[in-house]
Copies of this chain bind each other. A is one copy, B any other.
Amino acid sequence: MKILRLALAQINPTVGDIEGNVLKICDFISKAKKQNAGIVVFPELAVTGYPPEDLLLKPQFISDNLDALKRVQRETKGITAVIGFVDRKTGVKSRQCDIYNAAAILRNGKLIGVYYKNHLPNYGVFDEYRYFKAGTESPVYAIGDVTVGVNICEDIWYPEGPAKSQAVAGAEIILNINASPYHLGKLSLREEMLSRRASDNNIAVAYLNTVGGQDELVFDGGSLIIDRAGEIIVRGRQFEEEIIIADVRIDGPSRPGKRYLAPAASSLGEEVYKALVLGTRDYVNKNDFSKVVIGLSGGVDSSLVAAIAVDAISKENVKGVFMPSPFTSKESREDSSALAKNLGIRIIDVPINEIFESYRKNLKREFKGIHEDITEENLQARIRGNILMSFSNKFGWLVLTTGNKSEMSVGYATLYGDMAGGFAVIKDVPKTLVYELCKWKNSREGRAVIPERVLWKEPSAELKPDQKDTDTLPPYPVLDPILKAYIEDDKSFEDILSSGCEKECVQKVIKMVDKSEYKRRQSPPGIKITPRAFGKDRRFPITNKYRSY
C-alpha cells in the first residue's frame, strides 16, 4: 500500500510582505518536517500574497520575490515543498519580460520544476491577463515513489484542463494550490467540483487554499483532500490558519474512518459572520491599526458592525460614538447604550445639535426662503462623519462604516457622512441578511448581545421627524430580491417583473441603483461575501445613459 504523508500549509500571507511571508513559509516547512511529511504545499502566490495587483508591474518587486524563493529553497532539505510565486522569463518575440503565476517544486534544496498557471481568470474580481502570461504545459513530477501533478486554482475548474492531462500522464495525486476568494456557498460548490474531478480521473486531489483578508477579499481556507473515489478525507478549517497533516493512500481508495473533517459552519449566518470577522481583523492588523471607532446609532447595522469588531480585535480596541440630534429617539439612546454595555465597549457621547445650528446659521443667507430638504439631512450625517474622522485623526483609530448592501445599492447613504471611514464591514451584506447575522450572534452567545428591540423596531435614519426607511424604500424583504436579480444576476427588467414584482417598484429601484454609481465609486472598501460585490467585482461607468426599464 502506497501512502503519502502530505502537509497542507493553509497560511495567511500579507500582500507585499515578502519578508514576512518567507518567514511564515519557512516556519511551516519546519513544522511539516517535524511531522515527517513527504510534501508540504503552500498557496498560490504565497511569496507575494494574493492579489498583488499593480505591484506586479514593478520589476523590483518581481526580483525581490525571486530572491525570496531562493531563500525558501535552502530550507527544503529533506522535504518537498510546492510554493506559489511569480516567475519571470524573457519573451520569445518581445524584448520585455513575461511574468507567470507559478508554482515552484522544491526538493531537497533544489528547484526541480516550475508550473505555470494555464487558465488565468479575468472576470469578477480577477485581472490576471493584466499581468500574467498563461502557461501551456502540465508536467508531472516523480516525488519519491509518487507521481505528482501540480496546478493552480482556476486550472482545476476545467474538466479538460491540466488535471486531466496530468492524470493521463500518470499522476497519482493532483496538488492544486489556490487563492480562492470566499463568497457565500462557495465551499460546497468547490467540494462538488473537486469530488467530480477526482472520481472522473480516478486520482486523489489535494486542494490547498490560502486564508485571510485582503482589502475587499476574504480567502476562506477550507482546504481539502479527496481520494480517488471522490470521497472527502480531509477538510481544513474555514477562516483559520492551520497546518493539516494527512496520510493519503495513493494506490486505492482511502480506508473508511481515516478522515479529518474540521467542523463546517452550521448555518449561512455563521459562515458569513466568520468571514466578516476575519476580513475586519486582517484589514485592521495588516494596515497597522490597533483600534477602531464606530458611530453607534442604536440601529441594527451599527450594532452588528460593533459586534463583529469586538470579535475581530477584542472589546478594548473598539470605541463607540453616539452622536444624537433632536431627531434621535430615546430608544436609540437606550439601545446603543445597552449594546455597548453588552459588548463591554466604551461609548462616547458627542451631540451634534450645536454644530448643526452653526452650519444652518452660516448658510442661512444663501438658503433663504428655501424649504429644508435632503441638504439638512445630509449635513447631519456629514457632521457625524467629521466627528468620527476627528477621533481617527486625533487617536489613530480606524473608522468602520456601517452601511449595508441594500443601502449601498440604492444610494440610501450620505457620501462623506455615514459613508465616511476606512473600511465598510457589511457593505456587501443585504439588510435582510444583517438581521440573520444578528440573530445568529445572539443565539450563539445565548443572550441578546444585540438588544432585542434593535431587531424588531422599524429602521430609521432619524434625520428628520418620524422618518422611516420605508418612506423612501420598499420594505427590505421586497427590495433585497430585486437588488439581487438586478445587480448580482444581471436580470433584465422584464425578467424581474416576471418574478412577480410590481412594475413601479422595480423601476424605482433600478433607477436608484443606476443613479448611485458615483457614490459607490467613493465608498471605502468592504468585504465581499456575495457572488458579486461592489468594487472590483462590478465595474460600472458613472456616466451611463443606459436605461433598462
Residues of A in contact with B (beta carbons under 8 Å apart)? 14-18, 20, 51-55, 57-61, 64, 122-123, 127, 129-130, 213-215, 282-283, 286-287, 348, 350-352, 354-355, 357-359, 361-363, 366-367, 370, 373-375, 378-379, 382-383, 385-387, 389-391, 393-394, 415-416, 420, 422, 490, 492-493, 518, 521-525, 536, 538-548
A373 to chain B, nearest CB (A): 7
Copies in the complex: 2
Contact A283 B15 (CB under 8 A): no
Contact B130 A14 (CB under 8 A): no
Give 21 pairs: A residue, B residue, CB < 8 Å, sorted on A. Answer: A15-B544, A15-B545, A15-B546, A16-B541, A52-B546, A53-B539, A59-B492, A127-B130, A213-B543, A214-B541, A215-B543, A286-B545, A358-B358, A359-B387, A366-B394, A367-B390, A367-B394, A378-B389, A378-B390, A382-B386, A536-B539
A498 to chain B, nearest CB (A): 13
Contact A416 B390 (CB under 8 A): no
A326 to chain B, nearest CB (A): 15
Contact A359 B355 (CB under 8 A): yes
Contact of A545 among B20, B123, B385, B420 (CB under 8 A): B20
Given contacts A358-B355, A363-B387, A393-B375, contact A541 B55 (CB under 8 A): yes
Contacts of A354 in B (CB 8 A): 358, 361-362
Contact of A60 among B15, B214, B493, B525 (CB under 8 A): B493
Q: Look across to chain B and name the residue whose beta carbon is closest to the beta carbon of A359.
A: B355
Contact B383 A370 (CB under 8 A): no
Contact of A122 among B122, B366, B374, B548 (CB under 8 A): B122
Contacts of A51 in B (CB 8 A): 541
Closest 5 CB pairs of A and B: A16-B546, A17-B545, A375-B393, A60-B492, A358-B358
Contacts of A361 in B (CB 8 A): 354
Q: Look across to chain B and name the residue whose beta carbon is closest to the beta carbon of A282.
A: B543
Give the CA-CA distance A357 to B57 in the complex, in Å.
Answer: 47
Contact A362 B367 (CB under 8 A): no
Contacts of A355 in B (CB 8 A): 355, 358-359, 362
A51 to chain B, nearest CB (A): 7
Contacts of A60 in B (CB 8 A): 492-493, 548
Give the CA-CA distance A127 to B127 in the complex, in Å.
Answer: 8
Q: Look across to chain B and name the residue whose beta carbon is closest to the beta carbon of A354.
A: B358
Contact A490 B544 (CB under 8 A): no
Given contacts A522-B523, A541-B16, A541-B53, contact A386 B366 (CB under 8 A): no
Given contacts A386-B382, A390-B375, A393-B375, contact A54 B543 (CB under 8 A): no
Contacts of A362 in B (CB 8 A): 350-352, 354-355, 387
Give the CA-CA distance A60 to B370 in the complex, in Å.
Answer: 42
Q: Look across to chain B and name the residue whose beta carbon is closest to the beta carbon of A372.
A: B394
Contacts of A521 in B (CB 8 A): 524-525
Given A15-B546, A350-B362, 14 more A-B residue pairs with CB atoms under 8 Å apart are A20-B545, A52-B546, A60-B492, A61-B548, A127-B127, A213-B543, A214-B543, A287-B543, A354-B358, A362-B387, A379-B386, A389-B415, A422-B518, A521-B525
